[in-house]
């Protein structure tokens, strides 16, 4: 594996080490535990951990748990699992809530320095008085409160004397600043909510813009990497560290958010999909969550390679989902066993094959990787082929089975379709074929050629399996202009086919990955697959689908 490609943040780190601003690189990944991680977070995880790794530094996993109403230990646990699964090890596991006492004390310091005040304006009044990009804001009538009064009120806020929204603590900076973020931002709000870790110990909670820089400084983070929407917040980040007299001086750097076509990438929306039952949980294989991608069959190697490839940009863009698919194909190409699965079975009886006889044929496990060896697969008088590999009245250029036509059965013999059996509704339910024993695969037979090769599974030993085929969950915005994401849900995002796989796959365990000849890469579903009925999730189809 390559180390992270050269990027602007890396150049900054090189400079900082050279100039002595920092002695070592310490980064952090700071998720809010209010949902499961998605592929966008994977980008941030790779960036933070790989940057530190490259310079023999460290990375903390820090939960930004300052918003008790939305946070939960379920999320705390899933996030740790996902980071580990991606292949990273954090130096320390931290929680912003570990720092609540210190954050409070620093706020008291700000008050004492005349840099913060308790404000009684309502949220709406505060918003109205903030001004606009072209108009300066108006100062709060509470801005001039004495230090003593502020200290008293802030202590009483903490003690629980006031209701939610009644008062806030604000920084005293500049209501005329051209940067809206600097117009006396709120530092603390009242919320009588139960916190997943601190319980009811607190009823005031620090805002992100206050808690984040201080948490970074407490941990000695050297490079605090976040997404572009925080660019305007950087002066406040620096102000907070300065005015709170933090010893360490972390610096914030921004990079572009990752967006992927045909999906939504905000925990808020993803949670809505889960809560409204549109998907089967956060790890539904259609979800862009790390757990969903894992369940679908993505590997950590593929996700890391993808994140590395898209690099670190300074402007937001949307990455085509096919990019992601490229990397999983690349990763599985030489690793996955190539076997045969029939998704929509049609029975074929080979009339000139001896009844009761079963022979074993040799099949290579991966045509591109000889080291994977071979396996034995049964062949007999009755097999299943794909319904789509037969047409009674084919168009020209159709080289698969039709009455009178001969095709090659992969790893086996040539067969010729002699007769079509239908039910009372005229549906084709069975084919009668003959085989030519001279054409056995590997025998060197070359007297005649056929244009079509199809796959099959021997009927008596075939193992039943469900195949879950996916399409994007959300249709592209450009196709449904202006529609909300819930209106763009793809009704065909999941199709289930019931068919068969080769008998030697009976023991396949959750997470095992295969390439099914002509159908693509599949993962054994870790939740729904049983020994009675295997369940496979299609990870991705083959790059060039078989189309003779
Ligand atoms: P969401 O909007 O999905 O809830 P968030 O930014 O609020 O995302 P956090 O838990 O706060 O989620 O994110 C943790 C880290 O991951 C942050 O540093 C954030 O910048 C980064 N991150 C989140 N989404 C993306 C994305 N799409 N691309 C790159 N980094 C991201
Ligand atoms: Mg956030
Ligand atoms: Mg968020």
> 3-class secondary structure for 340-364?
CEECCEEEEEECCCCCCCEEEEEEE
Domain boundaries, the chain: 1-91+256-332, 337-540
Return the ligand number nearest the Cα of 40.
1
Residue 267 appears among annotated catalytic residues: yes
Q: Look at phi and psi of residue 546 and say left if phi exceeds 0, alpha if psi is from -120 to 50, else beta.
A: beta
d(C-alpha 184, C-alpha 190), whole Å? 17
Does the CB atom of residue 32 touch ligand 1 within 6 A?
Answer: yes
Q: How far apart are CA 218 and CA 241, in angstroms?
A: 10
pLDDT of amino acid 420: 98
Q: Tell me the pLDDT tens digit for each residue of 505-521.
A: 999 999 999 999 999 99
Cα–Cα nearest to 152, from 185, 124, 120, 117: 117
Residue 18 sits at the vertex; the CA angle it makes with 14 and 55, to the nearest 5 degrees, is: 45
Q: Which of 41, 258, 269 is the pocket-test mutation for ligand 1 (most atoms within 8 Å of CB)?
A: 41
Distance CA 394, CA 373 (A): 37
Which pLDDT score, from 0 to 100, does residue 485 have?
A: 84
Closest atom, ligand 1, to C-alpha of 268 = 4
Which contiguous run of DSSP H or E holds residue 421? Answer: strand 414-422
List, for residues 32-87, the tens digit of each pLDDT value: 999 999 999 999 999 999 999 999 999 999 999 999 999 999 999 999 999 999 99
In this prediction, residue 26 carries a pLDDT of 98
CA of 69 to the centre of ligand 1 (A): 18
Output the CA 258–ligand 3 centroid distance in Å: 14
pLDDT at 2 over 60: no
Centroid of ligand 1 to alpha carbon of 541 (angstroms)? 29
Which residue in 170, 251, 267, 286 is the catalytic one? 267
State both tokens at 184: 């006396």
pLDDT at 263 over 90: no
The CB of 44 under 6 Å from ligand 1? The reply is yes
Q: Pairing between strand 26-29 and 93-95?
A: unpaired
Instruction: Note the ligand closest to the C-alpha atom of 38.
Output: 1
- CA–centroid distance, 225 to ligand 1, in Å, is 11
For residue 382, give the 3-state DSSP assignment. Answer: strand
Average pLDDT over residues 84-102: 98
Contacts 24+ apart (CB under 8 A), 181-186: 181/209, 181/232, 181/233, 181/235, 181/236, 182/235, 182/236, 182/239, 183/130, 183/131, 183/137, 184/119, 184/137, 184/139, 184/140, 184/143, 185/209, 185/210, 185/236, 186/119, 186/126
Q: How far apart are CA 435 and CA 430, in angstroms?
A: 16
Position 544 scores a pLDDT of: 43
For residue 230, the ligand closest to its alpha carbon is 1
* Contact by Cβ (8 Å): 86, 290: yes
| For the CA of 225, the nearest atom of ligand 1 | 18
For ligand 1, whether the C-beta of 258 sits within 6 Å is yes
Q: What is the pLDDT of residue 261?
A: 86
Choosing from 172, 257, 295, 538, the catalytic residue is: 257
Nearest CA to ligand 1 atom 25: 40
Residues 6+ apart with CB under 8 A from 4: 10, 46, 47, 50, 51, 54, 308
3-class secondary-structure state, position 458: strand
At residue 111 the predicted structure's pLDDT band, cuts being 50, 70 and 90, is: very high
175 Cα–ligand 2 center, Å:
25
Indicate if 468 belongs to the active site: no
229 backbone φψ class: left, alpha, beta (φ>0; ψ -120 to 50): alpha
Average pLDDT over residues 92-119: 98
Pocket of ligand 1 contains residue 318 by CB under 6 Å: no
Determine if ligand 1 sits within 6 Å of the CB of residue 297. no
Which class for 355: exposed (0-12), middle (13-18), buried (19 or more C-beta within 10 A)? exposed
- Taking the C-alpha atoms of residue 163 and residue 141, their distance in angstroms, rounded to an integer, is 20
Catalytic residue among 32, 301, 359, 364: 32
Instruction: Identify the CATH homologous superfamily for domain 337-540.
Output: Ribosomal Protein L25; Chain P (2.40.240.10)
Kindly list the strands in the beta sheet with 26-29, ordered across the sheet, starting from the edge strand earlier in the chain: 26-29, 58-63, 93-95
Q: Which two tokens stand for residue 495?
A: 């199709």
What one-character DSSP code corresponds to residue 30?
-
Phi, psi of 235 (to 5 degrees): -60, -35
| Superfamily of 1-91+256-332 according to CATH | HUPs (3.40.50.620)
Length of the chain in residues, anyone?
Answer: 548
> Would you say residue 476 has pLDDT above 80?
no
Judge whether 115 counts as a catalytic residue. Answer: no
pLDDT of residue 313 exceeding 80: no
> Counting atoms of ligand 1 from 1, which one is nearest the CA of 257?
28
Indicate the burial class of 16 (C-beta count within 10 angstroms; 0-12, 13-18, 19 or more): middle
Q: Which residues contact 491 (CB under 8 A, 6 or more apart)?
A: none
Question: 115: which 2 tokens?
Answer: 């840099």
pLDDT, average across residues 367-385: 97
Ligand 1 atom at shortest distance from the alpha carbon of 44: 30
- Model confidence pLDDT, tens digit, residues 397-426: 999 999 999 999 999 999 999 999 999 999
Compute the radius of gyration of the chain from its Cα atoms: 31
pLDDT of residue 300: 98
Q: Residue 160 C-alpha to ligand 3 middle, in angstroms?
A: 27
Tell me what the mean pLDDT of segment 162-174 comes to. 98
Q: Is 292 in the pocket of ligand 1 (CB under 6 A)?
A: no
| Alpha carbons 265 and 505: distance in angstroms, whole number | 35
Residue 235 confidence (pLDDT): 98
Please, which residues have CB within 8 angstroms of residue 312's CB and are 6 or more apart in sequence?
Answer: 7, 8, 9, 47, 255, 256
Q: Is the CB of 411 under 6 A from ligand 1?
A: no
% of the chain beyond a pLDDT of 70 = 97
Distance CA 410, CA 457 (A): 10
Which band of pLDDT confidence, cut at 50, 70 and 90, is reported for residue 477?
Answer: low
Please report the atom of ligand 1 found closest to the CA of residue 33: 10
- pLDDT number for residue 547: 35
| Å from CA of 32 to ligand 2 middle | 6
């Amino acid at each position: 594996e390559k180390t992270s490609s050269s990027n602007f943040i890396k150049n900054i780190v090189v400079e900082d080490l050279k100039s002595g601003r920092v002695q070592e690189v310490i980064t952090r990944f700071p998720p809010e535990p209010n949902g499961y991680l998605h592929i966008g977070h994977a980008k941030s995880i790779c960036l933070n951990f790989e940057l530190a790794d490259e310079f023999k530094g460290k990375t903390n996993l820090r939960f930004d748990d300052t918003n008790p109403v939305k946070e939960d230990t379920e999320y705390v646990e899933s996030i740790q699992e996902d980071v580990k699964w991606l292949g990273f090890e954090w130096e320390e596991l931290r929680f912003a809530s570990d720092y609540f006492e210190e954050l409070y004390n620093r706020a008291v310091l700000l008050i004492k320095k005349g840099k913060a005040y308790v404000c009684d304006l309502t949220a709406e009044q505060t918003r109205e008085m903030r001004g606009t990009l072209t108009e300066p804001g108006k100062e709060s009538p509470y801005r001039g409160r004495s230090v003593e009064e502020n200290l008293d009120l802030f202590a009483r806020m903490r003690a629980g004397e006031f209701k939610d929204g009644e008062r806030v603590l604000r920084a005293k900076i500049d209501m005329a600043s051209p940067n809206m973020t600097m117009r006396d931002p709120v530092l603390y709000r009242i919320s009588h909510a139960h916190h997943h870790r601190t319980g009811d110990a607190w009823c005031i909670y620090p805002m992100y813009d206050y808690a984040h820089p201080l948490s970074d400084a407490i941990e000695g983070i050297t490079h605090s990497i976040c997404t572009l929407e925080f660019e305007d917040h950087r002066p406040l980040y620096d102000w907070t560290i300065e005015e709170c007299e933090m010893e360490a001086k972390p610096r914030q750097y921004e990079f572009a958010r990752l967006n992927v076509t045909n999906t939504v990438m905000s925990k808020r929306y993803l949670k809505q999909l889960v809560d409204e039952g549109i998907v089967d949980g956060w790890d539904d294989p259609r979800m862009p969550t790390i757990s969903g991608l894992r369940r679908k069959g993505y590997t950590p190697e593929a996700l890391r390679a993808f994140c590395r490839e898209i690099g670190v940009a300074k402007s937001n863009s949307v990455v085509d989902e096919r990019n992601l698919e490229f990397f999983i194909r690349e990763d599985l190409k030489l690793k996955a066993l190539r076997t045969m699965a029939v998704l929509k079975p049609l029975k074929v009886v080979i009339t000139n094959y001896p009844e009761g006889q079963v022979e074993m044929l040799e099949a290579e496990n991966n045509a591109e990787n000889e080291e994977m060896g071979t396996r034995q697969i049964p062949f007999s008088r009755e097999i299943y082929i794909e319904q789509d590999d037969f047409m009674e009245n084919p168009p020209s250029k159709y080289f698969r089975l039709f009455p009178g036509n001969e095709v090659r059965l992969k790893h086996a013999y040539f067969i010729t379709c002699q007769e079509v059996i239908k039910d009372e509704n005229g549906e084709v339910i069975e084919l009668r074929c003959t085989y030519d024993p001279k054409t056995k695969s590997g025998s060197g037979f070359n007297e005649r050629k056929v244009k079509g090769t199809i796959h099959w599974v021997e009927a008596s030993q075939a193992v039943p399996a469900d195949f879950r085929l996916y399409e994007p969950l959300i249709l592209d915005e450009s196709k449904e202009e202006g529609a909300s994401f819930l209106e763009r849900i793809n009704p065909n995002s999941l199709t289930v086919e019931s068919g068969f796989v080769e008998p030697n796959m009976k023991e396949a365990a959750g997470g095992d990955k295969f390439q099914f000849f002509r159908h693509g890469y599949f993962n054994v579903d870790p939740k729904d697959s049983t020994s009675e009925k295997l369940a496979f999730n299609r990870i991705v189809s083959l790059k060039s689908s078989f189309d003779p």
